[in-house]
Each structure stands twice: as C-alpha cells, then as structure tokens.
A and B are shown apart, each in its own frame.
Chain A
Amino acid sequence: MVSIDGVEHSDSLIRVRNLNKIYRRGGETIEVLQGLNLDVEKGEFVAFMGPSGSGKTTLLNLLGGLDTPTSGTVTVDGDEITNMSGRHLASWRARHVGFIFQMYNLIPVLTAFQNVELPLLLTKLSKAKRRQHVETALSLVGLADRVSHYPRQLSGGQEQRVAIARAIVTDPTFLLCDEPTGDLDRKSAEEILDLLTELESEHGKTILMVTHDPLAAERADMTLHLDKGALVEAAEQAAAS
C-alpha cells in the first residue's frame, strides 16, 4: 500500500522521510522538495505527476541515489542510501535500481545486446552467464531477434524496449522510469506501458514512474501528484482543483 503520511509501515520496500531538496543558484534559494514522506511496498506501481519544475525528476533522482537530499532519509529494503558514500551508492544502484529514461539513453556505438550487457559487466558473472541473462531480458521485451542491431537501426519503441531490458537484466529491486513514453507515439507508448504493467503484474517488479501522460498514469496502482514540493494523492489533487 502506497502512503504519504509518514506513518511507519513495517512492510515498506521504499521509505522516504522528511525529504528536502534545496537548490541554491546565485543568491536564490529554490525549495524543490519540502518534508516529503512516502512509503511504497514491494510489487507496487506508482506514478508521479505534476507540472514542469514541480520536482518529479528530482524525487526520482533522490530515490535512485543519483543525487543527495538537503535533509531527510531514503531507505530501500532496509538500506539507508542517503548516508552512503559515492562508491557504495554506485554499487547499490547497480544491484538495486533499474533506470528507464525518456530519451532511452542507449550507447549508440553498442548493439542492443551490448547495451543490455553493460550493467552485467559490473558483476562477476561469466561471459556465458551474461549472454544468457541478456538473451532472457531481450526476449522478455520482445526483441530476441534484434540483438545485433544498433540503436540507430531501431524504432523509438524498440529503443525503449532495449532500455527496459537493460534496466531489468540485473533483476533490480525496483525500476525508476522518467517519462518512459514521453518521446513515443501513442502505439509505441501503449506497448511500453503494457510491458511495464506486465513486469509489475507477472514479475512482481516495483515501479516508480514520472509522467505527464494521464493515460500512462492510469496504468499505475496509484498516482501521486507533486505540488509545491509535497506529494498529494490524485483524489486530493482533483478535489483541490
């Protein structure tokens, strides 16, 4: 059950407490996140919506250990990541987080296979095992026949599938998706959303997704809105507006 009230839940996979993020640019102080609380259980699919500049991506970056908060804590599966050193955080990301970006962010000089293999190079898996994992991930996203294709030889939807395969190949604890359908046409977007839904429902993946697209948000178990640095549930948001 997703909650934003800050009340302790023993079965939370992701626990965020009093999260603040303040940017200082010149003499100006911008409070992007203000005392944010969040609890997400394993296997849940949560969508974050909100206007541009509301702090959605900042929240995602903090949950994924890409950035550090000004104050507050983020705990994932018992590990408090806000206290980790850069080195530990990097290895924690490799083991626990799968990232999916709006612009796919594939390495253009690598084939689909090699792109998906990238996170596995950090593990101690043998070459044969890596191959096996990569082929499984690419099959799961329906691209078993595109292993040798370079990103430029794939459509946008296919590129995003490769990015999803890269995100799930290490079997991470949760997936962070930043506008995964933002650069796709409706049909491709639907296919990607189908895939994410399948990952949640059939493989029990925990997914946190930032989106502007209400149709994408509909696929989530719960949609949270970011407003003035705080999270509100969709129903409250609707009532407020």
Chain B
Amino acid sequence: MKYLPFIFRNLFRKKTRTILTIGSIAVALFLYGLLVTIETALNAGVDVAGVDRLIVRNKISLIMPLPLSYQERLRQIDHVTEATFATWFGGIYQEPKNFFPQFAIDTDTYRTLFPEFQIPDAEWQAFLADQQGAVVGRLTADRFGWKVGDRIPLQGTIWTGTWEFNIRAIFEGSRQGDDESQFWFHWKFLEESRPWGKGTVGWYTVKVDDPDHSVSVSAAIDERFSNSANETSTETEQAFAAGFAKQIGNIKMLIMSIGAVVLFTLLLVTGNTMAMAVRERVPELGVLKTLGYGDKTVLFLVLAESLLIAFVGGVLGVGLAKLFTMGGDPTGGMLPIFFLSSGEMLLGIAIALLVGIAAGVIPALTAMNLRIVDALRRV
C-alpha cells in the first residue's frame, strides 16, 4: 500500500495516454458486457428450461399445428404425467416494435406444468372466470404500464382483426432468467373466435414423471404418431430452447471470436502503453535500483501500474455495461431476459486484470532486468 501514491503518480505523468488506455479498456469491457448480456438473453430459455418437460411439435415445422386430440393420447403414454398445449398468436400491440410473445393456452393444465410462474390465486381465478381474460408477465406489464383490470387491444396478424383482452393477472418468474414477457389468454377464446385452424394447437408441453425417462418418452411419442397425418418431433424443453437459440447462429462462437479480437487489441494497446512507460523511465528505474529497490520490487511496481490501468478500465467498462443493461431490453421485446449478472461482471474484471498482467509482464521483466549502470548512463 505504501507504494500506491508512487504508482498513481507514475500513472498520471502522461495523463492523456493513461486516460486513453483506460478508455480503450473500458470500451472493450463495455462491449464484453453487452455481448455477454446478449448471449445470456439468447440462451436464457436454455438455462431455465426444464429437463422433465418435453416439447412436442409438428415434425414438418414449428409453425404447423397439431390436432387437439393428441392431448388425450399423449396422456396415455407411459411416464407422462400431464400434457398441456399452447398456440402462438402473433398479435401487435399498437405498433410492430412493441413485440412480446402471446400464447393461447390450455387454462386447465398450463399452470400445473409451469409452476415457476407465480400468480396470485385470486387473480388466476378471475382470469379463469373471464373468457377474454389474459395473464401477463411482470416485464411486459411494466413495459406498457398495464395493470390488472386494463383492457388491451391486440391486432391479429395470423387471425386478423382487433382482439380485446382484459388483464386479470400478472405473473412473476421465481428464478432469474424466467421469461416474464409472455402474455397468455384462453385457447378456447381463440378457438371460438378464429375463422380457421379450429381443432388444432401450436405445440404440446408434456411432463414426465422422471427426467431419466425423457429420452424414452420422446421416442415413444414420436413412434405413437408416426405414419399419421401429423407426425411429431419431441425433445426436451432444454434441447428445444437450445435449438431455438441456434437458429440465430452459433452465438457463443461469434461472441468468443469478437471477444478474442477485442482482447488481443486491448493487449496491444495496454502493452504499448506499458512498454512506452518503461522505456521513458529507464533512468528513473535505474535510480530506484540504486536506492536499493530490488529487482522484484521494480517488477511489482511496473506490473502494478499495468494492473491498475486494467482494473480501472475494467470496472468502468463493466459498470457502464451494467448501467446500460439496467435500462432493460433495448430491442423492444426480442431479448426479454436482458441483464448482466454479478458473476459475468466479476469475470469481465478478471479478464481485464489478466490483460493487465499479460500487457505488463514484458515491460516489467525489462525493467526488472535493467542493469543499473546502463540505466543511469541514459540520464
């Protein structure tokens, strides 16, 4: 600690250079924070998806429906404890940028299969009692300032026309990462009001008695409906969510590639700063050694400067990213789970410190190995 004032003084002898270096680290770490947040958002479903829930969809495509009659047949398959269904509605609230997912759900079973969504019982009962009732996630409710009792018009895109719903309940996820952007309403209301597609559902969610049975049950379901007019494709909810995320591309790979380029650039910028700092101070380092500063102390002083630059830049960048993400989803609903976790923030700062060490190690070794007489000759 007693060397800290000395380290600070050295850092700010070239204020502009130090500030620019800290700035470049901050920008890189800000970018890291955003990339990680986006990656988390895209994979949020994967992280919280249940392994004991299976998604049964039409084998041809997710957008092709399945018959309503499959629900009972699914329930009859061994190890299946319950089957529920939902249909994608795809309505627009006021304008297309106000996107949020809307599902017409089987009100008898849906809540049983998704216990992670917390809904007050009284509100749920009010929802059940109102054919035009709707349940909305906290995120979407807060986004549009909706509250229980509000009447919400949605413009149908699949089934055209204006559809009006009464908000009867607001749900909240019990885990970080639960999707609170969803909007549920009665499938029966859709069924009675839509002019076509009657007797069908979008997909089924099936609960198995034991996750160990997921694979065999998936195979049994697909076998059960093979050679029918509507063959199925069944997979765990987690695999389904991962596959969904992969449709956008190999996000992790993309983020790692961008991150690697950013880190390499950072390494060059910080390394250059430290190399210049040491080169300019060779005589002073010689003086320090003359005064009795050992090689390791000199190594420490130079490395500490590099680490301090990296730390300040890292904290600044990650902090700014956190502030940015606290504003919520900037895409208008495409990334409902938009947050930067404490763990990712700490990882970002750790990465910055690693860059600091990597960038400072060669200049520090150069300083450590300086011969005093050579260094003093440069005065």
Using a CB–CB cutoff of 8 Å, the interface residues on chain A facing chain B are 61, 64, 66-67, 86-87, 90-95, 99, 101, 103, 105, 107-110, 114, 118-119, 121-122, 127, 166
Q: Are B293 and A105 interface neighbours, CB within 8 A?
A: no
Bound: A109/B290 CA distance, A: 18
5 contacts between A and B (CB under 8 A): A67-B371, A87-B295, A101-B287, A105-B287, A109-B12
Q: Are B10 and A109 interface neighbours, CB within 8 A?
A: yes
Bound: A105/B287 CA distance, A: 7
Bound: A3/B3 CA distance, A: 42
Q: Are A109 and B9 interface neighbours, CB within 8 A?
A: yes
* CB of B283 within 8 Å of the partner chain: yes
For B, the interface residue count at a CB cutoff of 8 angstroms equals: 26
Centre residue among A91, A101, A105 by max chain B CB count within 10 A: A105
> Which residues of B, 1-39, contact A by the 8 Å Cβ criterion?
2-3, 5-6, 9-10, 12-13
* CB of B138 within 8 Å of the partner chain: no
What is the minimal beta-carbon distance from B299 to any residue of chain A, in angstroms?
A: 12
What is the minimal beta-carbon distance from B172 to any residue of chain A, in angstroms?
A: 53
Bound: A67/B373 CA distance, A: 7
Q: Are B294 and A91 interface neighbours, CB within 8 A?
A: yes
Given known A101-B379, A118-B291, A119-B291, contact A66–B13 (CB-CB < 8 A):
no
Q: Which of A64, A114, A127 touches B290 (beta carbons < 8 Å)?
A: A64
Closest to A66 in B: B372
Q: Which of A61, A90, A110 touches B373 (beta carbons < 8 Å)?
A: A61
Bound: A191/B36 CA distance, A: 65
Bound: A30/B332 CA distance, A: 78
B contact residues around A92 at 8 Å (CB): 292
B contact residues around A119 at 8 Å (CB): 291-292
Q: Are B5 and A122 interface neighbours, CB within 8 A?
A: no
* CB of B130 within 8 Å of the partner chain: no
Q: Are B290 and A99 interface neighbours, CB within 8 A?
A: yes
A contact residues around B3 at 8 Å (CB): 121
What is the minimal beta-carbon distance from A162 to any residue of chain B, in angstroms?
A: 13
* CB of B289 within 8 Å of the partner chain: yes
Closest to B288 in A: A118
Bound: A113/B369 CA distance, A: 28
Q: Are B294 and A90 interface neighbours, CB within 8 A?
A: yes
B contact residues around A121 at 8 Å (CB): 2-3, 6
* CB of B344 within 8 Å of the partner chain: no
Q: Which of B12, B290, B296 touches A66 (beta carbons < 8 Å)?
A: B290
Q: Are A95 and B292 interface neighbours, CB within 8 A?
A: yes
Q: Are B379 and A105 interface neighbours, CB within 8 A?
A: yes
B contact residues around A118 at 8 Å (CB): 6, 288, 291
A contact residues around B287 at 8 Å (CB): 101, 105, 107
A contact residues around B289 at 8 Å (CB): 90
Q: Are A109 and B5 interface neighbours, CB within 8 A?
A: no
What is the minimal beta-carbon distance from B86 to any residue of chain A, in angstroms?
A: 67
Given known A67-B373, A121-B2, contact A93–B379 (CB-CB < 8 A):
no
Q: Are B283 and A105 interface neighbours, CB within 8 A?
A: yes
Q: Are B373 and A66 interface neighbours, CB within 8 A?
A: yes
Closest to B292 in A: A94
* CB of B284 within 8 Å of the partner chain: yes
